[in-house]
Structure 1
């Protein structure tokens, strides 16, 4: 059978991102806007733009790796496995953060971000030897994960009255 087109790799990360948005689209504006956030928090309208760029870069980078390794060969298990694992954790984050509307759970989402960050770093390191462009395409994502982790921790610390239970 023929290899997938590079656009299918580019679209894949958007699938989970879209599902996360779709599931949480109603709660997100109400709950999130009420939270105290630091001055350096990006405006809410910036997040979909950032994720579109990040997911597209990540998806294309995964295609470059897949292509350079000759598809789903044994050489691709670790580099693409790390990518898939961090992508799955990335997709799991919105339900924890936005869906639970519980800042105790938000700290668990911070743990998800940290683990996702370590997996993303592992992805970049494993990809660098295979395709430097692919590894470099992941760097904006690493920067965004660092910011999101710090933001999650700051929101948790700045909203002590909402650390347990769902609140409106």
Structure 2
């Protein structure tokens, strides 16, 4: 497994002069959990906004993701998963560093074996519908953070940090 050369706590401490954002847990207990084998990951963000439809997630993770992290705003839906093992395997095959999902995943035991960083709010066995809905490269707002394609995402078991510029070589 690849290990990213950072700890999010240290990134914050070592860069007090940078405008960094931290994705915060919400008052209703929504916080991110790590599901992939890669516990620390980062890269340049590619954003997608979709609600209970993982069409765009599947499409994007089937493209070259070298140096990238897919950030998905699934509206915090707890009714279906936006990624399962087959889509996660596609992400590994296409060299994505990780996926952050403001929503759910499924097939968590299989995902736990993949060399991929995966942070999501929860797991659920229900798959999503595919109707071709969703927007890519849009500004996302969740966890008190604003995330745009091109930002840099750094995630580990401490949390998720967003920067407008690269902080470490990945």
Structure with higher Rg: it is 1
- TM-score bucket of the superposed structures, by smaller chain: under 0.3
Q: Please, what TM-score do these two structures have when normalized by structure 2?
A: 0.25
Instruction: Tell me which protein shows more strand as a share of its residues.
Output: 2
Higher helix share: 1
